[in-house]
């Protein structure tokens, strides 16, 4: 049985639908856990503390950095975002795959620290659709929207540094593709060397 837990890092521009995609996949996969990021920004009307994010003060966030509690952290629109190490380590110990939904810069930092992590870049089918999705939220002023679009342009330039790319046009199709990526990674021989070695002696005994 292949049980090596994976660290899957999902990233992409605002409006790519990365959060919705991961939540969709989580509806059917019992062996995955979504890592909850910590942020200094205020919660949106539909967000809950501890479920969507851990909402903390800047002072608390700085303490977490100094105490080495964050795997990575980044700043956008004057707000800080970070990934707590604790839950990832706990999930791995229990055999669960951990899914991180973080910024592109954050994803590349994770790859540097944990080379075996899997980076998946999520993108909308077109830039115009990306802009439409951001504006459809109706939660941000024009200045903030322009900052997000500008950052989306920069993030797209980093897409080639990721292991996979998923175009999020229709949510179920995108979720199926992401699931296929996970299954393929689970079966990768590099991740199952211990299993192969365990069986090598048994098979070798017949090679006489």
CATH number at residue 192: 3.40.50.300
The mean pLDDT of 147-153, rounded to a whole number, is 92
Residue 75 domain flag: no
98 touches 22 (CB < 8 A): no
Residue 145 maps to a domain: yes
Q: 42 in a domain, yes or no?
A: no
Global pTM? 0.86
Q: Model confidence over 31-58: pLDDT tens digits?
A: 999 999 999 999 988 899 998 899 999 9
Q: Within a domain: residue 120?
A: yes
Residues in the chain: 208
Best CA proximity match to 26, nearest among 34, 14, 18: 34
Domain total of the chain: 1
CA–CA gap between residue 172 and residue 193 (Å, rounded)? 33
Q: Which domain holds residue 188?
A: 7-35+97-204
Report pLDDT digits (tens) over 14-32. Answer: 999 999 999 999 999 989 9
- Does a structural domain hold residue 106? yes
């Amino acid at each position: 049985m292949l049980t090596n837990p994976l660290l899957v890092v999902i990233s992409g521009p605002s409006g790519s639908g990365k959060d919705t995609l991961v939540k969709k996949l989580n509806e059917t996969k019992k062996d995955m856990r979504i890592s909850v990021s910590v942020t200094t920004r205020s919660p949106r009307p539909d967000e809950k503390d501890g479920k969507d994010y851990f909402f903390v003060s800047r002072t608390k966030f700085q303490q977490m950095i100094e105490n080495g509690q964050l795997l990575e952290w980044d700043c956008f629109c004057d707000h800080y975002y970070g990934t707590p190490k604790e839950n990832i380590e706990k999930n791995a110990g229990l055999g669960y795959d951990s899914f991180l939904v973080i910024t592109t810069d954050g994803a590349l930092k994770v790859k540097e620290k944990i080379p075996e992590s899997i980076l998946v870049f999520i993108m909308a089918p077109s830039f115009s659709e990306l802009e439409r999705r951001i504006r459809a939220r109706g939660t941000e002023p024009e200045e903030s929207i322009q900052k997000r679009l500008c950052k989306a342009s920069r993030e797209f330039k980093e897409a080639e540094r990721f292991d996979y790319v998923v175009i999020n046009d229709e949510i179920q199709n995108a979720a199926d593709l992401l699931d296929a990526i996970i299954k393929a990674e689970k079966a990768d021989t590099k991740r199952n060397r211990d299993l192969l070695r365990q069986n090598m002696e048994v098979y070798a005994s017949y090679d006489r």
